[in-house]
Chains A and B, each alone.
Chain A
Amino acid sequence: MAEKMDLVPSQRSPAGEAAARSTILQTPLWKVRLQLAWRGFKSNAALFAENKIGLIGLAVIVMFALMAAAYPILINTVWDPNIYDPIIGYDFTQVEQPAPPSPAHLLGTDPLGRDVLSQLMYSAASEFALGVVAALVTVIVATTVGAVSAYFGGAIDTIFMRLADIIIMMPFVTVLIVLSVLFEIRMLHLALIIGILAGFGGDAIVIKSQALTIKVRAYIEAARIAGGSDAHIIFRHIVPNLLPISFLYMMFTVTSAIFSEAVLSFFGLLNIRMSWGLMIHTTSTAGYLLDLQKWWLIFPASIAITMLCAAFYLVGRALDEVVNPRLRKR
């Protein structure tokens, strides 16, 4: 098709001329798909934007993303790494550590003399990374488990659902605490563990019920009659229809991941170098936890955790209204 379009007009036959003029034939299939997807996205985005709540959440997420992106710029230009490095920096010019906020240190320094703002920004990136990895793992696991359970039913279904029952029954943080004692957990391990637990847990159940409604639709039957293998039907037909709901639950997994990491770090149970939760742990071990005069040791990190978790949750709720039309206002 593409070669024909390269012909100089005088070289085209009348039929070719007509074909060239016809825009339907001119637009390749991938472009059509893209246009349709874009249109769908625009209308969904309009629905999403109707609910101010989702927009607030999105704004907060963007703000933290900018923060995370700004850190490498700052540390390489304006900030002197010896002073501002979040893990090994130390400011000799301050008389007493932790130092209150000042023009040099907008949020003060922590008990070990490190700049709080720098720590905040540095951690933002790892929080995002944690959230995204956990969420992706959850989506992959939950969608596969849900689709497979719904499709095959029977023993496979029972096993996965029993497993899910146990997982949702157990308090998340408690389980992570126990795991942190038995195994040494770093950031990446944590993301994987959270992703897997969430994926086999409540999300799997929800996605399975969604998959059940898809399984009974006519085009699945048609695909089967046409000779599609089980894997083909599951991955080419069922899974794409599950993606909107998976995407929705992904948001809640991010919230859960960031929150769990913060709590575990606060308790000092994780082996990581810097995170918001760890900032508060440092405060706690230095004995300043209940000292509200030194508010900059606790407030910035806590508020950051709260805001980012809440933001993802709000976005998730707004997406819920897009995906689930019954919740929309008239």
Chain B
Amino acid sequence: MSEPLLRVENLTMHYTTRAGDVKAVDDVSFTLAQGDSLGLVGESGCGKTSVALTLLRLMPDNAKILRGKVWLGDTELLSLPYEEMRKIRWNRISMIFQAAMNSLNPVYRVGDQIIEALNTHIGVMSIDQARQRVAELFELVGLDPALMDRYPHEFSGGMRQRAVIAMALSCNPDLIIADEPTTALDVIVQDRVLRQLEEVQAKLGMSMIYISHDIAVIAEVSNRIGVMYAGQMAEIADSIEIFERPLHPYTFALMGSFPSIKGKKHALEPLPGEPPNLISPPSGCRFHPRCSRATEQCKNEVPIFRDYGNNHFAACWHPLEV
């Protein structure tokens, strides 16, 4: 097996707020191989976006990284000086943000914003070369190259989303993080954008981290799925594996809460209780207050992230299989 592209080890990050420390990311570890597409799924506020921001070191001022290492190839990102990190941003890891409509600066032309990224990382090229590249990128995402001289307010929502994807691709990064890229779009456009992303990934062979709360969407585009709960990584495995053999009770509940067109009709079983308060999270396994299989051990000891074979990891004292 070749060297994994991304290795996250024991990442722990807190936000300092007036009300207390929010333990947003707690001891998260995972690896990503080249060409993989990892889907991070979980409820709102479970820490998926925080993890993504940490990878690019884009956290807000009140965030503190307490522990952990992030390896991109053989470079450790968290200890890099700021200038070095700047060079890695967009060049090797780029990101598509939530509600990307507003990711484009309204006062500059769309093409110019992409050229700005090119000039920063690829080096100065002539205006024609830059425009050529932008045209290529636009075609790749299914946009008319003539649109590069327009302003963002002249684009529709779906078109803006695709422009943002084109911008993320511009410097040929090794890894793209897409944070809820289709949440703000209607279902038809959503479908189109997803198709586009798949095509692009297939063509260019880059790795992706796909963040969403919608497991149906994740299932479509990712070949590996990571389930997060309350700032911790509950379970991670290949997509098919996790659907057929969910080990963590939360994963199982997540599957059960989405309706399916095929198969027998069954009542949707919502998960009892509410997402925990991350300022004072539950002791031991953070899921224990809502888990039907919880025991004293779950309340007192944080479960260890174990390997169950087949590249399948889970953190649970009483996994489903057993």
Residues of A within 8 A of B (CB): 330
Contact = CB atoms under 8 A, between A and B. Distances in A.
Contacts of A330: 17-18, 61-62
4 contacts: A330-B17, A330-B18, A330-B61, A330-B62
Contacts of B17: 330
A330 B16 CA distance: 10
Interface residues of B, number: 4
Contacts of B18: 330
Contacts, number: 4
A124 B61 CA distance: 45
Contacts of B61: 330
Nearest to B18: A330
A330 B61 CA distance: 10
In order of increasing CB-CB distance, the 4 nearest A-B pairs are: A330-B62, A330-B17, A330-B61, A330-B18
B18 to A, nearest CB: 8
B20 to A, nearest CB: 14
Interface of B: 17-18, 61-62
Interface of chain B, helix or strand or loop or mixed?
loop
Nearest to B17: A330
A330 B62 CA distance: 9
Nearest to A330: B62
B250 to A, nearest CB: 31
A3 B17 CA distance: 50
A306 B17 CA distance: 38
A330 B15 CA distance: 12
Contacts of B62: 330
A212 B199 CA distance: 48
Nearest to B61: A330
A46 to B, nearest CB: 12
A290 B18 CA distance: 54
A322 to B, nearest CB: 16
A330 B22 CA distance: 14
B50 to A, nearest CB: 16
A177 to B, nearest CB: 41
A330 B17 CA distance: 8
A49 to B, nearest CB: 15
A51 to B, nearest CB: 15
A330 B18 CA distance: 8
A14 B18 CA distance: 48
B175 to A, nearest CB: 30
Nearest to B16: A330
A330 B19 CA distance: 11
B62 to A, nearest CB: 6
A94 to B, nearest CB: 60
A259 B294 CA distance: 71
A132 B18 CA distance: 37
Nearest to B15: A330
B122 to A, nearest CB: 36
B169 to A, nearest CB: 34
B63 to A, nearest CB: 11
B59 to A, nearest CB: 13
A114 B311 CA distance: 94
A40 B18 CA distance: 19
A275 B61 CA distance: 50
A216 B27 CA distance: 47
A12 B62 CA distance: 60
A273 B17 CA distance: 56
A326 B241 CA distance: 47
B60 to A, nearest CB: 8
A330 B60 CA distance: 11
B279 to A, nearest CB: 15
